[in-house]
Amino acid sequence: MAQYVAAIDQGTTSTRCMLFDHDGKVVSVGQKEHQQIFPRAGWVEHDATEIWGNTREVVGQALARGNASNSDIVAVGITNQRETAVVWDKNTGQPVYNAIVWQDTRTQKICDELGALGGGADRYKDKVGLPLATYFAGPKVRWILDNVDGAREKAERGDLLMGTIDSWLIWNMTGGTDGGLHLTDVSNASRTMLMDYRKLAWDADIAEEMGIPMSMLPEIRSNSEEYGKGRKAGFLAGVPIAGSLGDQQAATFGQVCFTKGMAKNTYGTGNFMLLNTGEEAVPSENGLLTTLCYQLGDAKPVYALEGSIAVTGSLVQWVRDNLGMIKSAPEIEDLARSVDDNGGAYFVPAFSGLFAPHWRSDARGAVVGLTRFVNKGHLARSVDDNGGAYQTREVLDAMNADSGVDLTELRVDGGMVGNELLMQFQADLLGVPVIRPQIPETTALGAAYAAGLAVGFWSDLDELTAKWAEDKRWDPEMSEDQREKYYRQWQKAVTKSLDWVDEDDD
């Protein structure tokens, strides 16, 4: 008798498969990193074929480590790095180019050209809830069609498909060239800049203006329903694929933020804070994104306001890999604890420009406030503080202004929430409690919940809410004066990172 739900979590740096039991507990994990490809400054790519191969491998690992077979799996859910775009040939199953990653900035000229048609960065915002920015998938697809020999001609003939990573995985998992299903879900579709977030349908006018044939686009489905079954040759043969959410929506679902006004923040490669706004889509006046939170089957969709921060955990990786200041990521906390504060140094990690609430692609990383007093401990502290803490404060201020509701607590998850110095500083800077759940990696759990709901493994949202449990809470300890002084200095530091990229720079 089937007893587990499998979740495939395809992230920016690795792919995981996790098996969950009925109590929402982790039974086993398989995980493998994939190559990060940086062809030139500002370009970030992944090999989509490598990701598909890794996905098969980690599913096999998780099943073996859980002593399980496909007959033990009631359903599989998928969650993914959202805006990363893949274009592939439906006849051969091969990508025509590497996947262009959400962090990539090469499409700035495309965004500028579209904005010049009228409306600037807000040209499509009323329909799609997003500004024209390099972050989103639509312009990445346009770049591939414009720059890969023969791609546009193949697309016009109907031979090419496009999608975010969820679409690529579902197509392959359901058969690929042998009848694979070309699907996406509302949360991922809402990150392409091509979907009308009120109609939950592709906007043909925007697609035409962006130069993307409608034949390339996947069918849009809800986040929790049976899409199809695993291909006969796979580890999950015959298992219903029944859940799909973009990673940040999945984390929100795993944090059981089902009530309007609840919010979570994920500390991973980047930082992503989502506020549930209920069945009302709230247009942002303060640099946030209006996005789909989730839709369960035929139910009305639930919306969110989101603040997206490009670089947080990847800053620690940069300090480790590029500077060699530490040998492993957790060492950053120990080095940061060697000093009492940042010594007046502030690190603005604008490696891919600044995302919410600034949306400045011309920004670049900067360290400011350096004196002879500053040592590597102070630099580590400035990096640790910028594990998203300052940028999260900026996003929270924008959310409070847009929603008119002051946050009373923040639920946190992701790989960096084990850094207790960062979590305490986050509580201090926000002035509200920060709460970590017993299962901090809630992204995979959210995908599992969506899939399990679709097949009746779990009954309803109330059952899932009852499973959430607090692990640790950090209450604010810093004085109001000190909090605001730090924040003022941070805001000053941000101004030093702007206007760095010249207009004629690629």
Residues marked as binding? 12-14, 16, 82-83, 135, 247-248, 269, 313, 317, 415, 419
468 contacts 439 by C-beta, under 8 angstroms: no
CA atoms within 13 A on the CB side of 91: 6
Q: How far is CA 84 from the centre of its chain?
A: 9
- Which residues contribute to the annotated binding site for ATP? 12-14, 269, 313, 317, 415
Distances (CA, A) of 415 to 81, 264, 429, 436: 15, 14, 20, 11
* Burial zone of 506 (CB within 10 Å; 0-12 exposed, 13-18 middle, 19+ buried): exposed
- Both tokens assigned to 72: 């033990």
- Which residues contribute to the annotated binding site for sn-glycerol 3-phosphate? 12, 82-83, 135, 247
Q: What would the DSSP string read from start to end of 404-466?
A: S-----EEEESGGGG-HHHHHHHHHHHTS-EEEESS--HHHHHHHHHHHHHTTSS--HHHHHH
Helices assigned H by DSSP within 284-388 = 313-318, 331-336, 376-385
Instruction: Phi first, then psi: give them for residue 233, nearest 5 degrees.
Output: -85, -5
- Which residues contribute to the annotated binding site for ADP? 12, 16, 269, 313, 415, 419
CA-based torsion, 211, 502, 103, 283: positive or negative: negative
Q: What is the DSSP letter of 284?
A: -
- Which residues contribute to the annotated binding site for glycerol? 82-83, 135, 247-248
Distances (CA, A) of 9 to 12, 166, 506: 10, 10, 33
